[in-house]
Chain A
Amino acid sequence: MGDAQQIADGILERASIAAGIFSQLNQEETDRIVEAVCRAALDARIKLARMAVEETGIGIWQHKVIKNTLAAELVFEDIRDQKTVGVIARDEQRGIVEIAQPLGPIVAVIPVTNPTATVIFKALIALKSQNPIIFSPHRGAPKCSTEAARICYEAALSADAPEDCIQWVPESSRELTHALMSDARTALVLATGGPSLVKAAYSSGTPAIGVGSGNVPVFIERSADIPFAVENILLSKTFDNGTVCASEQAIVVERAIADEARSAFEKQGAFFLDPDAVKKLEAVVIRPETGLMSPKIVGRSVAAVAELAGITVPDGTRCLMAPQQKIGADDPLSGEILAPILAWYECDDFDDALKHCIALNYRGGIGHTASIYSTDEEKISAFGRLMDAGRVVVNTPSSQGGVGGVFNQLHTSLTLGCGSGGKNITAENITARHLINVKKLCYRKPNERWLAIADDRLLDETLSADDIINAYRG
Chain B
Amino acid sequence: MIHFSFDDATATLRCAFEGRLDSPTSLEVAKRMQEKLEGMSSSSFKVVFDMNDVEYVASAFIRICLQTAKEVGTENFSICNTSPYLMKTFKMSGLDAELNVS
Enumerate chain A interface residues (CB-CB to B < 8 A).
Answer: 13-14, 16-21, 23-24, 104, 160, 162-164, 185
Task: Find out whether the CB atom of B94 lies under 8 angstroms from the CB atom of A163.
Answer: no
- Contacts of A24 on B, CB cut-off 8 Å? 56-57, 85-86, 89
Enumerate chain B interface residues (CB-CB to A < 8 A).
Answer: 22-23, 56-60, 62, 85-86, 88-95
A20: contacting residue among B23, B60, B91, CB under 8 A = B91
Task: Find out whether the CB atom of A163 lies under 8 angstroms from the CB atom of B92.
Answer: no
Tell me, rounded to whole Å, the shortest Cβ–Cβ distance linking B58 to chain A.
6
Known: A13-B94, A17-B95. A163 touches B60 (CB 8 A): yes
Task: Find out whether the CB atom of A21 lies under 8 angstroms from the CB atom of B85.
Answer: no
CA distance A17 to B58 in the complex (A): 9
Given A20-B62, A21-B58, A163-B23, 13 additional A-B pairs, CB 8 A: A14-B59, A16-B92, A18-B59, A19-B92, A20-B92, A20-B93, A21-B62, A21-B89, A21-B93, A23-B89, A24-B57, A163-B59, A164-B59
Consensus secondary structure, chain B interface:
helix
CA distance A16 to B59 in the complex (A): 10
- Contacts of B86 on A, CB cut-off 8 Å? 24
Task: Find out whether the CB atom of B56 lies under 8 angstroms from the CB atom of A17.
Answer: no
12 A-B pairs whose Cβ atoms sit less than 8 Å apart in the complex: A16-B92, A17-B62, A18-B59, A20-B89, A20-B92, A20-B93, A23-B89, A24-B57, A24-B86, A160-B22, A162-B59, A163-B58
Task: Find out whether the CB atom of B58 lies under 8 angstroms from the CB atom of A162.
Answer: yes
CA distance A24 to B92 in the complex (A): 11
CA distance A13 to B59 in the complex (A): 11
- Contacts of A18 on B, CB cut-off 8 Å? 59
CA distance A339 to B88 in the complex (A): 49
Task: Find out whether the CB atom of A16 lies under 8 angstroms from the CB atom of B93.
Answer: yes
CA distance A17 to B57 in the complex (A): 11
CA distance A16 to B97 in the complex (A): 14
**Shortest 10 CB-CB distances between A and B: which pairs?**
A20-B93, A163-B59, A20-B92, A20-B89, A17-B93, A16-B94, A19-B92, A17-B62, A16-B93, A24-B56
CA distance A20 to B91 in the complex (A): 7
- Contacts of B62 on A, CB cut-off 8 Å? 17, 20-21
Tell me, rounded to whole Å, the shortest Cβ–Cβ distance linking B25 to chain A.
13
**Considering only CB atoms, which chain A residue lies closest to B88 in the complex?**
A23
- Contacts of B22 on A, CB cut-off 8 Å? 160
**Considering only CB atoms, which chain B residue lies closest to A25 in the complex?**
B56
Tell me, rounded to whole Å, the shortest Cβ–Cβ distance linking A79 to chain B.
22
Tell me, rounded to whole Å, the shortest Cβ–Cβ distance linking A106 to chain B.
14
- Contacts of A164 on B, CB cut-off 8 Å? 59
- Contacts of A160 on B, CB cut-off 8 Å? 22
CA distance A164 to B60 in the complex (A): 11
B90: contacting residue among A20, A104, A185, CB under 8 A = A20
**Considering only CB atoms, which chain B residue lies closest to A17 in the complex?**
B93
- Contacts of B94 on A, CB cut-off 8 Å? 13, 16-17, 185
**Considering only CB atoms, which chain A residue lies closest to B61 in the complex?**
A21
**Considering only CB atoms, which chain A residue lies closest to B56 in the complex?**
A24
- Contacts of B91 on A, CB cut-off 8 Å? 20
CA distance A160 to B56 in the complex (A): 12
CA distance A236 to B34 in the complex (A): 61
Known: A16-B93, A185-B94. A21 touches B59 (CB 8 A): yes
- Contacts of A16 on B, CB cut-off 8 Å? 92-95
CA distance A18 to B62 in the complex (A): 10
Tell me, rounded to whole Å, the shortest Cβ–Cβ distance linking A75 to chain B.
26
Q: Which of A14, A21, A160, A164 is the most central at the interface, judged by chain B CB atoms within 10 Å of its CB?
A: A21
